Amino acid sequence: MNSQAGKDCILVTGATGFIGSSLVNKLVPEHQVKAVVRKDLSMPNVDVVSEDLNPATNWSKYLGNVSSIIHLAARVHIMHDTAVDPLSEFRKVNVEGTLNLARQAAKAQVRRFIFLSSIKVNGEETRQNEPFKETDEPAPKDSYAISKWEAEEGLFRIADASGMEVVVIRPPLVYGPGVKANFLQMMKWLYRGIPLPLGAIDNKRSLVALDNLIDLIKVCIHHPAAANQVFLVSDGEDLSTTELLRRLARAMGRWPKLVPIPSKILKVGLGMFGKADIAKRICGSLQVDIRKARKVLGWQPPVSVDEGLEQTATWFLHSWGKG
């Protein structure tokens, strides 16, 4: 007997990524899932679709019984992009590829299209205690953020023309088991006891634990009030860079070696070495207001910051702690 019979079908792009792999696992018990991957592989209890996200992909053969799409696949932000025209490359995947999928989804009468965007659509930085809101005028700065904003605009145009419901979620930095890039590197430094000049940073930054983001995505699959809305998401507690490092180290069973160098000196020093962008991320504030999700959807982050950090630390210690 098919255990998936009678369940609504959800297509997830980017299904093998940091967010996608965990999301698919959380969806499988309640939904029939089609997982879009770039290379052939098998996933338990999941129909695997091997396709690239590009403007010419024919999705029609996969959409016949799909009720919702959760679109995570994207050309992601690249620190040292070597493309001659980065914006064109981002647009090819994040805008044209996304809208190609959405147009075919609307034609196939897919009910809802959930798009994972980025808080970078709002901008790069906030004044402390003046968080971004959904009603703010978008201010994307880099090619990645511009492409995400253009995709959002295109999706809502398709929604207006077709009746397919669109939901946009803009997360800040996402952390959790399997996290990569700068967050993983930071954990390695803390684990090894490397002194860091980050003991006097008084900024405020919003983060979102992987479980919290996935929970909001799951709410947005069926909640009637989510249709054609934009939502910001976070853990609901903002931390300074210094406090984040202290609490993360504590979760790892380590004592952080944080040297209290003032933010102004740190910014000047990093700027002299061409690292002004890094200084902005370390010292600047980026806060988001999640009151809309709470009010409109009745959503609350199910995982606290400390619980999210403990989950991440447990994964790290198991996967990397002996390395």
- The angle at the Cα of 178, spanning 173 to 179, to the nearest 5 degrees, equals 25
The DSSP symbol for 65 reads: T
Distance CA 177, CA 79 (A): 22
- CB of 176 within 8 A of CB of 308? yes
- CB of 164 within 8 A of CB of 211? no
CA distances from 230 to 18, 191, 212, 220, 293 (A): 22, 38, 17, 11, 9
Q: Following CA atoms 26, 32, 38, 43 in sequence, which dihedral angle do they give, to the nearest 10 degrees?
A: 70
Residue 191 is a catalytic residue: no
Instruction: State phi, psi for 164 to the nearest 5 degrees.
Output: -65, 135
* The one catalytic residue among 62, 144, 175, 191: 144
Using a 10 angstrom Cβ sphere, with 0-12 exposed, 13-18 middle and 19 or more buried, the burial of residue 250 is middle
- How, if at all, do strands 66-71 and 112-116 pair? parallel
Residues labelled as active-site residues: 144
